C-alpha cells in the first residue's frame, strides 16, 4: 500500500522540494503516514475515512472536507465522513451515480470548481457561498478506473494549487481508495464468517437437541410398535380394527426411521478406518439397492477405475453414504432413467474420487445451498437428514463433497478422499 507515495517521495529525493517547502512536505508526508497507519491498525472503515477528511482539510488549510462512498445496493454516493464545514452536509441526501460520473471523466484527476453557482455537482450553492466557500476540489476515489467514492475539499479563496499540493491530494485519494477496497473486503469476509459460525453453532445445538429428543421418544415408540403388532395378530382379519392397527404400525415405523436419522445426525461417531478401495464399497452398496433399481427399471452404468488406490475408510459409514446417494439419484429420475457411477485417482492431489450422476430432474438453484442442511428435503416423505449425515461422515474422513446440478439436466455428485497411506502405514485401524 506504500506504492501510492512512491512518486511523492521520489520527487523529494530528487530535490524538487526546496528547503523552504520542506516543512510543507513534512506535513503532507505525516498525513499520508497517518492514513496508512490507520488503514493497517483499524478494521473499521469509518475510523479510517474520518482520519482522511480531518487530516486532509487541516494540512491544506481548508474550511472542511467531505467524503462520499458508493452504496452498491442503491447505486448512490452517500456522505460517510466530514470535517469542518463538511459536517453541515452529513444530513444531506445521497447523490446519484449518474450525477457524479457524468462530470468526472478521469478518476485520477483533481477537479477544481471555481464557479460554484453553475457547477452541476454543487447541490447547495447558496449555502456554500454564505459559508465563505469560494473554491471546491473534487477528487474521485477509484481502483482500476472503478470509482468507489468522492473526496470534496472546501476552500475559502480561489488560488492556484501547486504541483506539491496536487501530488499530495492524488496520493491521499489513491490511498483512500485502497482503504475502502481493503476494509470492504475485510468486512465482507467477516460477515460471511459470522454467518457460517452461526450456522455451525445452530447445527451443533440442533444435534444436541435432536439426540435428547430422539432418546426420549424412542422408548415410547418401541412400546407402541410392540403392542400394536401384538394386537394386530389377535383382531379379526380384514376388519376395520386390523386396518387401523396396520396404519398405526406403519406410521410408528416411519417415526422410528426419522428418530434413527436424528441419532445418526447427532452421533458424529468417529470412523474406524482400514485400508479399503472405494470400488469395493460402491459395488457392495449397489448390490444392496439393486432390487429397487430393477423394480423402477432404472439402469446403473459402472465405470470404476482399475487398479484403484486404497485409502483409509470406515466401510460401514461410507457404504451408508453411497446407499443414500444412490437412492437420492433413484428418486430423482423417472422410470427407465440412467445413473452412472465412476471412480478414479488424482495422483497429483493424492486423492481418490467417486462420482454418482443421474439424468433426473436436477436441483433448483435456490436449493443448492440448502441440500446439506438438516431437515431440508424436496420430497414429500423425505426426512431431510440423509445428506446431512452423509456430509458429516465424509468430513470426518477428511474428504469433500461437490454437487453440480441444473434443473431438468440431472445432478452430479463427486466425493473425494485423501490417500493417507504414508501417514498411517503399519496401522490396522483408527
Residues 12 and 126 in one domain: yes
Residues 104 and 227 in one domain: no
Residues 153 and 208 in one domain: no
Q: Is residue 427 part of a domain?
A: no
What are the average pLDDT values for consecutive 10-residue runs of the chain, which has 430 residues?
Answer: 41 40 62 63 70 84 87 82 73 66 65 84 79 88 80 89 83 80 69 60 59 68 81 80 82 74 60 87 88 86 89 88 89 87 88 92 80 64 66 85 88 89 43
Residues 200 and 109 in one domain: no
Give the CA distances from residue 364 to residues 355, 361, 368, in Å, rounded to whole numbers and listed in that order. Answer: 20, 9, 7
| 3-state DSSP helix/strand/coil % of the chain, to nearest 5 | 50, 20, 30
Cβ pair 281, 312 in contact under 8 A? no
Q: How confident is the model at residue 278, as a pLDDT?
A: 92
The number of folded domains in the chain is: 3
Where does a domain end: 244, 267, 290?
267
Q: CA 400 to CA 266: how far, in whole Å?
A: 20
Neighbours of 427 (CB within 10 A): 11
Q: How confident is the model at residue 322, as a pLDDT?
A: 92
Q: How confident is the model at residue 196, as a pLDDT?
A: 56
Q: CA 119 to CA 405: how far, in whole Å?
A: 54
In the 8-state DSSP scheme, what is residue 292?
Answer: H
Residues 173 and 240 in one domain: no
CATH value at residue 207: 1.10.287
At 220, is the secondary structure helix, strand, or coil? Answer: helix
The set of residues, in sequence order, having a beta carbon less than 8 Å from that of 414 and lying 6+ positions away, is 353, 354, 355, 401, 402, 404
- pTM, 2 dp: 0.42
At 422, is the secondary structure helix, strand, or coil? Answer: coil
Q: Is residue 423 part of a domain?
A: no
Residues 208 and 255 in one domain: yes
Q: Is residue 428 part of a domain?
A: no
- Strands of 338-346's sheet, edge to edge? 299-303, 338-346, 351-358, 410-418, 400-406
Q: CA 55 to CA 80: how far, in whole Å?
A: 16
Pairing of strands 111-113, 95-96: unpaired
Residues 185 and 163 in one domain: yes
Residues 245 and 116 in one domain: no
Where does a domain end: 143, 171, 190?
190
Residues 219 and 290 in one domain: no
Where does a domain end: 168, 190, 212?
190
Residues 110 and 40 in one domain: yes
CATH value at residue 378: 3.30.565.10
Q: Is residue 430 part of a domain?
A: no
Residues 16 and 82 in one domain: yes
What residues make up the domain containing 17? 2-190
Amino acid at each position: 500500500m506504500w506504492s501510492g507515495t512512491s512518486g511523492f517521495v521520489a520527487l523529494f529525493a530528487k530535490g524538487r522540494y526546496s528547503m523552504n517547502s520542506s516543512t510543507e512536505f513534512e506535513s503532507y508526508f505525516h498525513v499520508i503516514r497517518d492514513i496508512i497507519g490507520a488503514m493497517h491498525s483499524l478494521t473499521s472503515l469509518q475510523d479510517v475515512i474520518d482520519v482522511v477528511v480531518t487530516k486532509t482539510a487541516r494540512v491544506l488549510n481548508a474550511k472542511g472536507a467531505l467524503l462520499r462512498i458508493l452504496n452498491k445496493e442503491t447505486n448512490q454516493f452517500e456522505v460517510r465522513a466530514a470535517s469542518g464545514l463538511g459536517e453541515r452536509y452529513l444530513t444531506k441526501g445521497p447523490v446519484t451515480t449518474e450525477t457524479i460520473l457524468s462530470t468526472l471523466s478521469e478518476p485520477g484527476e483533481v477537479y477544481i470548481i471555481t464557479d460554484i453557482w453553475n457547477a452541476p455537482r454543487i447541490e447547495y450553492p447558496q449555502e456554500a457561498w454564505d459559508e465563505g466557500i469560494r473554491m471546491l476540489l473534487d477528487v474521485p476515489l477509484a481502483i482500476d478506473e472503478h470509482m468507489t467514492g468522492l473526496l470534496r475539499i472546501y476552500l475559502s479563496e480561489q488560488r492556484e494549487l501547486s504541483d506539491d499540493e496536487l501530488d499530495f491530494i492524488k496520493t491521499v485519494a489513491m490511498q483512500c481508495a485502497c482503504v475502502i477496497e481493503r476494509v470492504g473486503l475485510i468486512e465482507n469476509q467477516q460477515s460471511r464468517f459470522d454467518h457460517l459460525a452461526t450456522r455451525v453453532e445452530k447445527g451443533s445445538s440442533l444435534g444436541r437437541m435432536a439426540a435428547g429428543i430422539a432418546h426420549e421418544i424412542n422408548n415410547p415408540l418401541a412400546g407402541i410398535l410392540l403392542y400394536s403388532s401384538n394386537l394386530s395378530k389377535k383382531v379379526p382379519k380384514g376388519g376395520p380394527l386390523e386396518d387401523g392397527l396396520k396404519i398405526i404400525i406403519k406410521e410408528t415405523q416411519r417415526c422410528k426411521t426419522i428418530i434413527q436419522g436424528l441419532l445418526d445426525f447427532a452421533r458424529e461417531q468417529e470412523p474406524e478406518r482400514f485400508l479399503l478401495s472405494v470400488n469395493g464399497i460402491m459395488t457392495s452398496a449397489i448390490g444392496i439397492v439393486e432390487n429397487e433399481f430393477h423394480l423402477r427399471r432404472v439402469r446403473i452404468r459402472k465405470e470404476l477405475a482399475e487398479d484403484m488406490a486404497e485409502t483409509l475408510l470406515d466401510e460401514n459409514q461410507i457404504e451408508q453414504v453411497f446407499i443414500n446417494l444412490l437412492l437420492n439419484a433413484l428418486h430423482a429420475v423417472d422410470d427407465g432413467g440412467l445413473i452412472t457411477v465412476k471412480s478414479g485417482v488424482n495422483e497429483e492431489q493424492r486423492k481418490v474420487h467417486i462420482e454418482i450422476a443421474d439424468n433426473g430432474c436436477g436441483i433448483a438453484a435456490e436449493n443448492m445451498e440448502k441440500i446439506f442442511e438438516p431437515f431440508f428435503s424436496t420430497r414429500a416423505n423425505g426426512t431431510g437428514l440423509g445428506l446431512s449425515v452423509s456430509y458429516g461422515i465424509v468430513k470426518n474422513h477428511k474428504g469433500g463433497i461437490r454437487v453440480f446440478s441444473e434443473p431438468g439436466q440431472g445432478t452430479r455428485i463427486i466425493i473425494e478422499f485423501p490417500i493417507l497411506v504414508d501417514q498411517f502405514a503399519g496401522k490396522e485401524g483408527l
